[in-house]
């Protein structure tokens, strides 16, 4: 039997996000159309009052309002050991900074695993919270992002204090 999962939606400047949690922590931040990209391990039940979802909603709102630079949420991530190492390394990229796939691969002790790091980032179930939007190409270009490149650009500009558009969508 799968553990119970709970969900709620929250409005944001990058569109409506669906948050999914277990009793152990945040499981996913889903963009529209993300249901197939992030395996959840069960069908979440609507529960906007669940404590993890309430905390995630409040912290995301504070992030978008410029009042929060780091997330302090329990996470309940489901991935391989390699994926988990990649996802946790995202939390080490400072607010307002960027890194490359190569730098991230080196940071986790796997300097030749650049493509695998890119693939793992593409499967990050809690984007924004674990900031895969801070990963860019080694030439400085914006690379793939679950929310789309406009959302990625918006998040990077928000963190750089340059965001003037209320919505990239």
pLDDT tens per residue across span 86-123: 999 999 999 999 999 999 999 999 999 999 999 999 99
Q: What is this structure's pTM?
A: 0.89
**Cβ 57 vs Cβ 16: under 8 Å:** no
Known active-site residue 132: yes
The pLDDT, as a whole number, for residue 91 is 94
Angle between helices 114-122 and 81-90 (to 10 degrees): 80
Residue 39 has pLDDT above 80, yes or no: no
Out of 35-39, 117-121, 164-168, give the one with best mean pLDDT.
117-121
Q: Which of 135, 55, 28 is nearest to 90 (CA)?
A: 135
**% pLDDT > 70, the chain:** 90
| Residue from 132, 135, 146, 151 carrying the catalytic annotation | 132
Whose tokens are 């197939």? That residue is 36
Average pLDDT over the chain, rounded to an integer = 89
**Cβ 31 vs Cβ 146: under 8 Å:** yes
Name the residue with higher pLDDT: 34 or 106.
Answer: 106
């Amino acid at each position: 039997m799968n553990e119970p999962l709970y969900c709620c939606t929250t409005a944001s400047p990058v569109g409506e996000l669906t948050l999914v949690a277990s009793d152990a922590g945040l499981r996913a931040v889903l963009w529209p159309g993300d249901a197939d990209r992030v395996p959840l391990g069960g069908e979440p039940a609507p529960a906007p009052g669940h404590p993890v979802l309430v905390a995630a909603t409040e912290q995301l709102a504070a992030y978008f309002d410029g009042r929060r630079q780091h997330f302090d949420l329990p996470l309940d991530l489901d991935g391989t050991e390699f994926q988990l190492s990649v996802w946790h390394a995202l939390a080490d990229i400072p607010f307002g900074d960027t890194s490359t796939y190569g730098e991230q691969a080196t940071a986790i002790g796997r300097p030749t695993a650049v493509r695998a790091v890119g693939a793992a980032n593409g499967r990050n179930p809690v984007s924004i919270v674990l900031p895969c939007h801070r990963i860019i190409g080694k030439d400085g270009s914006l690379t793939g992002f679950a929310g789309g490149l406009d959302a990625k650009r918006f998040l990077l500009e928000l963190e750089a204090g340059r965001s003037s558009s209320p919505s990239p969508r």
